[in-house]
Amino acid sequence: MKAQEVPQDDNSTYHGEKRAVYATTKDGDYDVVASSGWDVEAEATQQAVAELQRLADEAYAACETGKCSPLEYHMYAKRLDLLSLSQATGLFQWRIKRHFNVKNFNKLSDKLLDRYADVMGITISELKKLPQKES
Amino acid sequence: MSVASKEFIHKHAGHCESGVMSTMLSHHGLAMSEPMAFGLSSALSFAYLPFVKLAGMPLIAYRSIPKAIIKGLQKNIGVKMKIETFSNQQKGQERLDVLLEEGKIVGAQTSVFWLPYLPEEMRFHFNGHNLLVYGKEASTYKISDPVFEHVVEASEQEFLKARFAKGVMAPKGAIYYPTFVPENIDYASVVPKAVKAVAKRMLKTPVPIAGLKGMRYLAKNIRNLESKDRRYARLFLGHIVRMQEEIGTGGAGFRYIYASFLQESGKILGNETLLEASEMMTAVGDSWREFALLIAKSIRSKKSETVDFDAIAKKLESIADEEALVYQKMLTAF
């Protein structure tokens, strides 16, 4: 890729930051070119972010009606899934799944709740409820 | 090694690990570009591991495993690094502070998710990020993150969280610094070894998930998406692009960085074949960008339109063929 062909698409996902891309200058020599983004990459990023948002929204709606515990919502909201939450907490997936059940979740000890809260970087009281919906 | 008073110079890099090593070695008197750090550690690769999931998606890697650049440079150019990990967070912080007080610049492995200076959209649970800490003021760490154009900062608390994130590849507070840096590099003996290692890995890895075979295997799996859930298929394709372009690769899944390395080595050694290989690798990089564009178009297309999986798979197969020629060329360079 030539230096003048390096995309400068001002990706909103960069928040004004720039990324180093390697490209060739006029003499054919390689150099680092700061790129403000590429639409192709931005679309892929936004697709992934939107998918996580969709999962979190679905869980939020289910939790509101008592169909699942807030744990499931917070998991997706913190960009985790069953596998990565299991890996981070060291708890078996089937055990975490049980905690998605409101009844089981309400019986959890503070010690276990803290294990979840810690990897999500929130407090136990935040974990126990759904956040106010942003309007 | 007395470097206490030396001024630290931040450098913008395509990739975190090669960027950290390039800046760190240059700081210690061994001037080294990022592509050179990447190339001399034979870091270029390809792997498609459908059974290893990352956020619900199979692992697709365009480079060798994390820490391979640090290890590769130790092996190939004789740098000696000290890597320390900690079971106790407090001790991990104290040790870093002591090293900084000694005037050292310290490499650190962190999670991406907990770094406060990263844009929200870029934060995912990936524990293999590398950066340099070059100082501390009050309770704020001064950080040189190679993928950022300028230096950044993190508070004690935030940085501790990032260093001790849990999960796969948990960094366990890993910090590292050189204990020995050679004064110069014997390019004439190191470059051939490093170049051949990459060519052989890509051409001859016997398992079907790595090297060019891995690319063909991925192409086959792209064809199979036809029968899969439509949403999953689109997410899978987007995931390929993200691994190639978003996750700090310097463009085209490290192919441009590597082309830059081939060019630099060709010039140092006066080796025409390497310079030709560099141009071929640049063309390969351009093909990867076309591949990403092809995918982006199909993701963008309206829900009712069908995605042409076969065309995407064919493009990937043609890149594998194109890359094969570069590696064959590289093998004839010495």
Q: What is the pLDDT of residues B264-301, one digit of tens each?
A: 999 999 999 999 999 999 999 999 999 999 999 988 87
Token pair of B60 as six digits: 């697709």
Q: Are residues B199 and B128 in the same domain?
A: no
Q: Do the beta carbons of residue B37 and residue B18 sit within 8 Å?
A: yes
Strand ranges in A25-97 using DSSP code E only, listed in sequence order: 30-35
Q: Between A15, A22, A88, which is nearest B167 by CB?
A: A88
The model's pLDDT over B75-84, given as tens digits with 9 standing for 90+, comes to: 999 999 999 9
d(CA A55, CA A63): 12
A32 DSSP β-pair partners: A22
Are B14 and A20 inside 8 Å of each other by CB? Answer: yes
Are A17 and B282 inside 8 Å of each other by CB? Answer: no
Residues of B in contact with A39 (CB under 8 A): 296
Give the residue, A14 or B316, on which the prediction is more confident.
Answer: B316
Q: Do the beta carbons of residue B210 and residue B47 sit within 8 Å?
A: yes
Which of B295, B185, B165, B300 is closest to B238 using CA atoms?
Answer: B295
Q: What is the mean pLDDT of residues B72-96?
A: 96
Q: Is B256 on the interface with A (CB under 8 A)?
A: yes
Q: What is the mean pLDDT of residues B82-95?
A: 97
pLDDT at B106 over 80: yes
Q: Between B123, B167, B256, which is nearest A87 by CB?
A: B167
**Residue at which a domain ends, from B113, B144, B174:** B174
CATH number, residue B156: 3.90.70.10
CA distance B43 to chain A (A): 16
Q: Would the CA dihedral through B147, B149, B151, B156 be positive or negative? A: negative
Q: Are residues B205 and B166 in the same domain?
A: no
The model's pLDDT over B13-72, given as tens digits with 9 standing for 90+, comes to: 999 999 999 999 999 999 999 999 999 999 999 999 999 888 789 999 999 988 999 999
Are B263 and A30 inside 8 Å of each other by CB? Answer: yes
d(CA B25, CA B156): 26
Stretch (H or E) spanning B314: helix B309-331
Q: What is the mean pLDDT of residues A108-123?
A: 96
d(CA B330, CA B232): 38
pLDDT at B175 over 60: yes
> What does each C-alpha distance from A6 to A19, A24, A83, B300 come to in angstroms?
11, 10, 37, 21
Mean of all residue pLDDT scores within chain A: 93
Task: Give the pLDDT of residue B2.
Answer: 42
Q: Are residues B218 and B312 in the same domain?
A: yes
Q: Are residues B160 and B258 in the same domain?
A: no
Q: Are residues B118 and B140 in the same domain?
A: yes
pLDDT at A93 over 70: yes
d(CA A85, CA A91): 8
**Residue at which a domain ends, from B121, B139, B174:** B174
In a domain, B84, yes or no: yes
Pairing mode, strands A19-24 and A30-35? antiparallel
**Residue at which a domain ends, from B140, B174, B208:** B174
Q: Are residues B257 and B299 in the same domain?
A: yes
In a domain, B66, yes or no: no
Mapping DSSP onto H, E and C, the string for B218-262 reads HHHHHHHHHHCCHHHHHHHHHHHHHHHHHCCCCCCCCHHHHHHHH
Q: Are residues B299 and B191 in the same domain?
A: yes
Q: Between B122, B234, B245, which is nearest A38 by CB?
A: B245
Mapping DSSP onto H, E and C, the string for B95-149 reads HHHHHHHCCCCEEEEECCCCCCCCCHHHCCCCCCEEEEEEEEECCEEEEECCCCC
Residues of B in contact with A114 (CB under 8 A): none
d(CA B245, CA B60): 12
d(CA B62, CA B46): 4
Q: Are residues B150 and B196 in the same domain?
A: no
Q: In what order do the strands lie in the sheet with B140-144?
A: B80-84, B175-180, B106-110, B129-137, B140-144, B152-155
* Domain boundaries, given as residue ranges, for chain A: 3-37, 42-128
Are A45 and B122 inside 8 Å of each other by CB? Answer: yes
Looking at CATH, the fold of the domain delimited by A42-128 is given as 434 Repressor (Amino-terminal Domain) (1.10.260)
CA distance A97 to chain B (A): 16
Q: What is the mean pLDDT of residues B176-186?
A: 96
In a domain, B70, yes or no: no
Residue position matching structure tokens 């759904």? A130
Mutate to test the interface with A, among B241, B247, B287, B289 (most CBs of A within 10 A): B241
Between helix B309-331 and helix B211-224 the angle, nearest 10°, is 180
Task: Give the pLDDT of residue B304.
Answer: 65
In a domain, B148, yes or no: yes
Q: What's the domain range around B204?
A: 187-331
A37, A41, A43, A48: CA torsion to nearest 10: -120
CA distance B330 to chain A (A): 18
Q: Are residues B194 and B149 in the same domain?
A: no
Phi, psi dihedrals of residue B110, rounded to the nearest 5°: -140, 170
Task: Give the pLDDT of residue B303.
Answer: 67
Task: Give the pLDDT of residue B188.
Answer: 96
| B 125-144 near A (Cβ less than 8 A) | 125
Structural domains in chain B (count) = 2
